[in-house]
Amino acid sequence: MFERLFSPIKINNCEIENRLAVTAMVAGMCNPDGTASDQYIAYHEAKAKGGWGLIITEDYAVNEHAMNIPGTAGLWDDAQIASHKKLTDTIHKYNSKIFCQIWHAGKQATHWTNNGVQPMAPSAIPCPVNRELPRELSIPEIEQIVKDFGQTARRVKEAGFDGIEIHAGHGYLIAEFLSPYINKRTDKYGGNFVNRVRFLKEIMEEIRRNVGDDYPVTVRYSAIEEAAGGRTMEESRPLAMLLEQWGADALHISASVYGNHINGIISSMYTPRAWLVNYAEEVKKLVNIPVFTVNRIADPFVAESILAAGKADIIGMGRESLAEPEFPNKAKRGDVENIRKCVGCMQECYGGLLRGRFISCLVNPTVGRELDVDLSPVSNPKKVMVIGGGIAGMEAARAAATRGHEVVLYEKQEFLGGQFKAAAYPPCKGDFSVYTGWLIKQLEDLKVEIHLNTEVTENLVKEISPDKVILASGGTSLTPPIKGIDNPNVVTAEEILLGKVQPADQILVAGGGEVGLETAAHLATEERDVTVVEMKHEFGEELIAPLLRNKIFEIMDEYRAVRIADTKILEFMEDGALVENAEKGQYKIPAQQIVLALGYKPVNNLEESLRSICDDLVVIGGAVKTSNAAVASCEGFFAGMNA
Ligand SMILES: Cc1cc2nc3c(=O)[nH]c(=O)nc-3n(C[C@H](O)[C@H](O)[C@H](O)COP(=O)(O)O)c2cc1C
């Protein structure tokens, strides 16, 4: 079915079984000294088991001051080799190859991950994300870092990796030297193109001196930096040609730098799928070595078509390898319907790192918890009753049924998915329905007995007489005591999104959090007159990245939806809402319809009565505390697994 995807390819002397590569992703799982932990090895092993031809590790620090995020790997010391050898030995039990990405974070390093040492860069220009002022590197320091890359490369080889990826992208140290927007030096490492590429050239020469000519050395860089004054294809084309001349064995074409508000390195659902492919194609025309493409590719048909069109030689997938570690195995056997798809939400991968945790995945809660997962068949199957068919309930049912329990699931609405169903309706969020659809298919395949339109009562539970009850009744819209909230023209965001009520032409959305903004964008694209009113100063505070907020704003602005912050709603009326703010005092915003997006509250009226009749009851997800879909999927999965 996917002939090209499953054809082998050689990088230098390394034969790779198929064209599917896991791209580098910091997982936050290494020990504080940069050595590999058991969890880190288990995380990678899941991918090797899944059939990926090549796994590229996260960025390994080349010296003890090169890191930006705690828990990142390093090979700056011979003492670190042994633990990483354990990783490569594990991966080599399967048919995968593993390359090590090596890097220095440059201005994107942080003093708090590097023993208080100030970040270093070609020029003293702060990183917009960590906001630290780096100091300019001296020439002897540059020469030392070149040597550090060489020594790290030697250790990479000794640790049993099959090759190296030099990280020259994403605004890290090498990218900083390459790029005129950060490199303001006037010595031999700055200024014109030939000076700016010198650092990378020296690094490549030093690496070759240490690993020899027959060891794969590849380079990853951002074709376009999406930063004011950053590199464009103009210089990325000659860079590709030079890299080939200097002995690169493959090129990995990524994009962007951290802190940009356009598409970003880790693009969200607001960026089109496979959007970097044409840049890879341009590079491919200029070189005779394999070219990787990456970014928002999560479908084997798309991947195969990229290869068929000759746009790239290897398909890199970062987040899709989190969503579906088994992607290659499933694609190879034509089991495409069961491939889980990354939805581009960034909540638990990028979001996990931002919160100082291991990375995980909303649609695959086992990521980062591989050592805790046990889906082996149970010896004493139980009758498990799941109440609620949202994400938490469905994940619980799936995990319990996978282990061999007999599972019945009850949902009071006429559909499965709970609040996550509505989440797929706003612009660019259609893929959210892929996860809901995937879960439904798993439950069908696992023969979970599903009852829709059924409100569970104490009597029903007595009648079913389950051994275990998992209460996942979710949440419902908050309706604070605002005058007029019961008026007939007041509806909920969910009712609007799911098409249960006819939207009016002139709408006021009450609440400018994620749901309010997305609902407003949805209504605005239907050419309605929309105003969002938010009590706080910031809109969409809970959104994990400013980039997401900006993308929703872009849609709203294009369709002329209005945002009003710092404003309290005093009363809902037939023809609008009375509001108040410091600037204008009290005034009326005209609207024919009010859409509530003021948050959620748990629905949990069964717990108390069930406690007296169920010996084994757990309450999970939004029924306990209003949170997000990632918490729901994780709590659901583990409640089901431990049923
Ligand atoms: C949590 C996370 C960490 C990442 N860390 C790295 C990294 O260490 N080095 C790197 O080159 N890219 C890193 N990336 C970028 C990915 O390799 C990839 O280019 C990006 O996620 C877009 O591809 P995708 O849509 O297939 O995920 C990271 C991405 C994520 C989500």
Residue 59 CA, ligand 1 centroid: distance in Å: 10
- Tell me, using a 6 A CB cutoff, whether residue 296 lines ligand 1: yes
Closest of 603, 425, 594 to residue 515, by C-alpha = 425
The dihedral over CA atoms of 274, 275, 279, 281, expressed in degrees to the nearest 10, equals 40
Q: Which DSSP symbol is given to 483? A: B
* Alpha carbons 167 and 103: distance in angstroms, whole number: 5
* Fold held by 9-336: TIM Barrel (3.20.20)
Tell the residue number behind the tokens 């609040």, with chain if given.
419
Atom of ligand 1 nearest to the CA of 167: 11
Q: How many residues does the chain have?
A: 643
Q: What is the pLDDT of residue 544?
A: 82
Q: Please name the residue whose Cα sits nearest to atom 13 of ligand 1.
A: 25
Residue 286: partners with Cβ closer than 8 Å, 6 or more residues away: 237, 240, 241
Q: Please name the residue whose Cα sits nearest to atom 23 of ligand 1.
A: 295
- Tell me, using a 6 A CB cutoff, whether residue 317 lines ligand 1: yes
Q: Which amino acid is present at 625? A: K
Q: What is the pLDDT of residue 632?
A: 96
Residue 24 CA, ligand 1 centroid: distance in Å: 6
- Tell me, using a 6 A CB cutoff, whether residue 319 lines ligand 1: yes
Phi-psi domain of 517 (left: phi exceeds 0; alpha: psi -120 through 50; beta: other): alpha
Token duo for residue 164 = 């190296």
Residues of the chain with CATH 3.20.20.70: 9-336
**Substitution candidate for ligand 1 out of 67, 256, 265 with most atoms within 8 A of CB:** 265
Closest of 639, 638, 615, 635 to residue 627, by C-alpha = 635
* 3-class secondary structure, 502: coil
- Tell me, using a 6 A CB cutoff, whether residue 252 lines ligand 1: no
* 3-state DSSP of 27-57: CCCCCCCCCCCHHHHHHHHHHHHCCCCEEEE
Is it the case that residue 445 has pLDDT exceeding 90? yes
CATH superfamily of 490-598: FAD/NAD(P)-binding domain (3.50.50.60)
Q: What is the average per-residue pLDDT within 244-262? A: 93
* Alpha carbons 515 and 526: distance in angstroms, whole number: 17
| Whether 96 contacts 139, CB under 8 Å | no
Residue 266 CA, ligand 1 centroid: distance in Å: 6
- Distances in Å between the Cα of 111 and the Cα atoms of 120, 130, 273 are 10, 10, 36
Residue ranges of alpha helices (H) inside 119-252 are 139-158, 173-178, 193-196, 198-211, 233-245
Atom of ligand 1 nearest to the CA of 319: 27
What top-level class would CATH report for the domain 374-477+601-641? alpha beta
Q: What is the average per-residue pLDDT within 59-83? A: 96
Residues of the chain with CATH 3.40.50.720: 374-477+601-641
* Alpha carbons 164 and 153: distance in angstroms, whole number: 7
Q: What is the pLDDT of residue 294?
A: 98
Tell me the pLDDT band of 351, cut-offs 50, 70 and 90: very high
Angle (CA) 22 28 30, round 5°: 95
Q: At what angle do helices 81-91 and 38-49 cross, to 10 degrees?
A: 20
Is it the case that residue 331 has pLDDT exceeding 90? yes
**Substitution candidate for ligand 1 out of 219, 266, 348 with most atoms within 8 A of CB:** 266
| Whether 384 contacts 361, CB under 8 Å | no
Supply the DSSP string of 260-306, one letter for each residue: -SSS-SS--TTSPTTTTHHHHHHHHHH-SS-EEE-SS---HHHHHHH
| Whether 501 contacts 519, CB under 8 Å | no
Q: Largest Cα–Cα distance of the chain, in whole Å?
A: 82
18: β partners: none
Considering the entire predicted model, what is its pTM? Answer: 0.97
529: β partners: 506
Q: What is the pLDDT of residue 374?
A: 98
- Tell me, using a 6 A CB cutoff, whether residue 26 lines ligand 1: yes
Neighbours of 270 (CB within 10 A): 18
- Tell me, using a 6 A CB cutoff, whether residue 166 lines ligand 1: no
What's the mean per-residue pLDDT of the chain? 96
* Alpha carbons 596 and 594: distance in angstroms, whole number: 6
- Tell me, using a 6 A CB cutoff, whether residue 341 lines ligand 1: no
| Catalytic residue set | 172
CA 370: distance to chain centroid? 18
Q: What is the pLDDT of residue 22?
A: 99
Closest of 518, 497, 436, 439 to residue 270, by C-alpha = 518
Sign of CA dihedral 334, 335, 337, 341: negative
Q: Please name the residue whose Cα sits nearest to atom 14 of ligand 1.
A: 25
Residue 631 CA, ligand 1 centroid: distance in Å: 22
Residue 254 CA, ligand 1 centroid: distance in Å: 9
Q: What is the average per-residue pLDDT within 462-479? A: 95
Q: Which amino acid is present at 327? A: F
Neighbours of 601 (CB within 10 A): 15
Tell me the pLDDT band of 290, cut-offs 50, 70 and 90: very high
Residues of the chain with CATH 3.50.50.60: 490-598
Q: What is the pLDDT of residues 538-597, one digit of tens each?
A: 999 888 888 899 999 999 999 999 999 999 999 999 999 999 999 999 999 999 999 999
- Tell me, using a 6 A CB cutoff, whether residue 69 lines ligand 1: no
Tell me the pLDDT band of 19, cut-offs 50, 70 and 90: very high
Atom of ligand 1 nearest to the CA of 316: 26
Residue 287 CA, ligand 1 centroid: distance in Å: 24
600: β partners: 477
CA 638: distance to chain centroid? 21
